[in-house]
Amino acid sequence: MQDNRIDAFYLRLSLEDGDVAEGNLNESCSITSQRLCVEQFLGTHPELGSDFQEFADDGYSGTNMERPEVQRLLRMVEQGLVKTIVVRDLSRFARNYLEAGHYLEFVFPAYGVRFISINDRYDSDDYGENPAGLDLAIRNLINEMYSKDISRKIKSAVDIKKRNGEFVYGAAPYGYKKGEKKNTIIVDDEAAIIVKRMFKMASEGMTITEIALALNKEGIPTPSQYMAQYRSSKYKVYSDWTWNSVKNIIENRIYTGDTEPFKSHVIKIGSARTKQIPRELREIITETHEAIVSRELYYLAQTTIKSVSKKKGTSQNNPLTSRLICGCCGNTLGKGKAQNKNWLCSKARYNDNLDCKAVRVNEAEIKGVILRAIQQQCSLTDVSIQEQKNLQKASRSEKVIISDEIRSLQRKLDKLQNTKRELLEAVMADKLSRDDYVAKKKGVLAEEEAMTAKLAVLQQRLNELSLSDAKLEKRQEAAREIRRFEGISELTPEVMKALVKRVIIYPDKHIRIEWNFSDNLIPFAPKTNGT
């Protein structure tokens, strides 16, 4: 029978390797060298065939298996589509010895996959049932330790460059561009004009929102638009200046010619999780590059923005905060000053030419709608709890009947066991012929088989009822939790957090409330529409 499974080889370069070939920014030298090594190996082993499919992850850490191409390859393995996998080193495949051992000792053999690691001189076909996986596990453990050690060394080398004032942070910030000298930035005159103006606007008392509105009104390209236009940016392009985009520039010390090299730190080597360092504790490296604004203007802008923000007095304890969602774009609604009566789409606040402009709701009215809906849900919990109690009562009755039947069957099965023993004793004592023994035992076994099958069905049903009872009990607990808000007269953050996931506002004043509890908890709850 012809084997139609594919042969594959896997290549990987981590972000830490960082060696990019001259004139080829899309593919690393290490990937090229791995491919060459594999191709040379296959050339000297023609019995393996020549039609190998390549899987390559360029720029992914080996400390975990969350890489797109290796995941695609493993999915194909589980589908029974792969015959052979070839890698240059085991460390290219995985540096976690437990995970590597799992695939090499269990998964690949189960699916009949031959695994070859060239530099490790490992071929799964050479070992058969020989438990050579332990040696591989130890080797992968060493590789894992090596990976973490390399990560630490690379991080240390990068940290030294940061402290020396070198720019090793990826793309240059808006207002700057990469210099000809490696790890330097220089002023981008065109964008720098906008940056200077933003700091001047902030220092003169304009709010961050007002600055964003002014830039949008004049059609000034956003940082992402500018970079996409002039630098072929690969990042997502945003069409409007927003509160965040302005704030990020105004608060960035880099425009003073200074650098904050460590704004966050990695929680664990090999992990993507980071923790922010408080601003007051951050290290500052001065005069690392040309300044766009003076330190005096920078600090004046910070002070003025803070004073203006305090006057606004936006309440962070408003129960509607982060709960109102625009039905057009999915952004949250905001209202700026605490005394404002209406909530607007946060995106539309910065651009007058959007459909989201029609998404607006009065605070008092929407609070009233949500409060009435909550009260309605609370009243429906009584019906829900009673229905669940009725279901539990019926379940308990059925469980009693089934349990009695199970006990009856078990007694009958015990009697059949005694019958089989008595038949055996009778034939051994020559009180029963062998033919009669066989015939009678056959009848007993058939009866026993039928009872056992019936017992299995009853036991399964009993388990289903027990599981159902547990679910009903959880639903009752959830319903009782909802009912504790019965009779509330005020919408509070606590109430919203407990009950409401989000409230979607549409331009036609249609409102949809999404609850934190499941739809089947309160089966008769109607949709909430309109204000």
Of residues 355 and 530, the one with the higher pLDDT is 355
Asked if residues 55 and 35 have their Cβ atoms less than 8 Å apart, the reply is no
Q: Is the pLDDT of residue 439 over 80?
A: yes
What radius of gyration do the chain's Cα atoms show? 35
266 φ, ψ to 5°?
-70, 130
SS3 breakdown of the chain: % helix, strand, coil, rounded to 5? Answer: 55, 15, 35
Nearest to 95 by CA among 129, 131, 67, 73: 67
Q: How confident is the model at residue 321 (pLDDT cuts 50, 70, 90)?
A: confident
Tell me how far the alpha carbon of residue 166 is from its chain's centroid. 33
Give yes or no for residue 198 having a pLDDT over 90: yes
DSSP 20: B
CATH level 2 (architecture), domain 176-312: Alpha-Beta Complex (3.90)
The residues near 82 (Cβ < 8 Å, ≥ 6 apart) are 5, 6, 7, 8, 73, 76, 111, 113
In this prediction, residue 466 has a pLDDT band, given cuts at 50, 70 and 90, of confident
**pLDDT at res. 240:** 85
- Looking at CATH, the fold of the domain delimited by 6-163 is given as Rossmann fold (3.40.50)
Output b/e per residue, 250-263; b: 16+ Cβ within 10 A.
beebbbbbbbebee
- Strand order in 122-123's β-sheet? 52-58, 6-13, 82-87, 114-117, 122-123
The pLDDT of residue 255 is 95
Query: Is residue 479 over pLDDT 80?
Result: no
Residues 6+ apart with CB under 8 A from 348: 326, 354, 356, 357, 359
Instruction: Tell me what the pLDDT averaged over the chain comes to.
Output: 81
Structure tokens at 228: 């996409």
Report whether pLDDT(27) > 60: no
Rounded Cα distance between 312 and 243, Å, is 14
Amino acid identity, position 338: A
* pTM of the full structure: 0.44
Q: Which stretch of 302-306, 312-316, 432-436 has the lowest confidence by average pLDDT?
A: 312-316
Three-point CA angle 20, 24, 29, nearest 5°: 40
Confidence bin at 76 (pLDDT 50/70/90): very high
Q: What mean pLDDT do residues 278-287 have?
A: 82
Answer yes or no: is pLDDT of 245 > 50: yes
Return the percentage of the chain with pLDDT > 70, whole number. Answer: 81
In the prediction, which pLDDT does 61 show?
Answer: 61
Average pLDDT of span 2-24? 68
Q: How many alpha carbons fall within 13 Å on the CB side of residue 295?
A: 5
pLDDT score of 265: 59
Q: Domain ranges for the chain, please list them.
A: 6-163, 176-312, 377-488
